[in-house]
Amino acid sequence: MAKSVPAVRLSDRRGSRVVRWAVFPCLLALAAAPMQRAAAQAGGAAPKVTEQEYEGWRQYSVHCARCHGQDVLGNPVAANLLESVAPGGPAAEKEVFLKVVQQGRPPRGMPAFAGTMTPAQMEATYAYVRGRAEKRVPAGRPQRPGA
């Protein structure tokens, strides 16, 4: 008699675990449905960026990501540009941003890019980072305009 009591509790516990695993995928499906609908309305494509922002993504990936993090997602070695370039941030103004990129901050470990990048490439990088900071441009490889 005493032996059968723990056996009953065990099966109860197993039962509730089964219920939990059944509910979880349902919740995921509920959460995914509106996103799928939004994607379908947009023609199923990733959000579009401008030609300049696309070029900026390329420049950023080549010149900046190793220190500031891929997709501007942050990296412990350098300033978080999503915060620096967000409205009101220390490098939110284009002129300030471009000056930092041109001159670097050699004592802090950031090299100058004046001899490496053209002014148009720096401006494109600003457009991309600004788009990321304003949450208009998603993380990941953006869809190439016109593609």
Does residue number 112 form part of the binding site for ligand HEC (CB under 6 A)? no
Name the helix (H) or strand (E) containing 57: helix 51-63
Site for ligand HEC (CB under 6 A): how many residues?
21
Q: Report d(CA 11, CA 64) in Å as an integer.
A: 56
Binding mask 37-76 for ligand HEC (x = CB under 6 A): --------------------------xx-xxx--------
The two counts, helices (H) then strands (E), for the chain are 6, 0
Tokens of 55: 């070029």
Does residue number 86 form part of the binding site for ligand HEC (CB under 6 A)? no
Q: Report d(CA 93, CA 108) in Å as an integer.
A: 21
Question: Which residues have C-beta within 8 Å of that of residue 2, sequence separation ≥ 6?
Answer: none
Contact with ligand HEC (CB under 6 A) among 15, 47, 109, 140: 109
Nearer to ligand HEC, 43 or 76 (CB): 76
Nearer to ligand HEC, 12 or 93 (CB): 93
| Helix, coil or strand: residue 50 | coil
Please report, as ranges, the residues that interact with ligand HEC according to CB under 6 A. Answer: 63-64, 66-68, 78-79, 81, 84, 90-91, 97, 100-101, 105, 108-111, 113, 125
